[in-house]
Amino acid sequence: MAVYWDHTIDLPENNNYLASAIEIVDAEPLRTKTISKDCFGYFSYAMTEDGELLYGILYQAGKNNFTIESVNFGTHTNLKLLWAAPSLALITRPDLRGVKIVERPTPKLKEVIGTKAQAGGVKLE
């Protein structure tokens, strides 16, 4: 799975390199609704039981209790998660690498990842 960091969002100045970047994410945990052990201590995407999509460095705080920290999106504690998927790679300036974004219908996307994006982001309809 790929995540596109929209260049129109207001990012802190120290993170401008993310504008228009594409992040490759392991999609298996989304499909299987699991929390990948490869997330712990690394940048990851996580879906809470409340349907909120979070991004940051994931830590396990207890048996079924997690914390995710992000300079840009804050710290969230005592999380109950449906799934968590690690970031595998970040492609900055995809335009210089010949990467093109091709949109295609994804009718089951809402079922897989949920309905809300964290920090006032795009809501999947």
Query: Could you give the number of structural domains in the chain?
Result: 1
| Residue 11 forms part of a structural domain | yes
Higher pLDDT, 26 or 114: 26
| Residue 58 forms part of a structural domain | yes
Please return the burial class of 37, using the count of CB atoms within 10 Å of its CB with bins 0-12, 13-18 and 19+: exposed
pLDDT the model gives residue 11: 63
Write out the residue range of the structural domain in which residue 51 sits: 2-117
pTM comes to: 0.77
| Residue 67 forms part of a structural domain | yes
pLDDT the model gives residue 74: 87
Per-residue pLDDT of 78-111, as tens digits, reads 999 999 999 999 988 888 888 877 777 766 655 6
Instruction: Give me the phi and psi of 70, to 5 degrees please.
Output: -150, 135
Query: Tokens in use for 62?
Result: 């207890």
| Residue 85 forms part of a structural domain | yes
| Residue 123 forms part of a structural domain | no
| Residue 80 forms part of a structural domain | yes
Per-residue pLDDT of 4-39, as tens digits, reads 777 666 666 666 677 788 899 999 999 899 999 999
| Residue 125 forms part of a structural domain | no
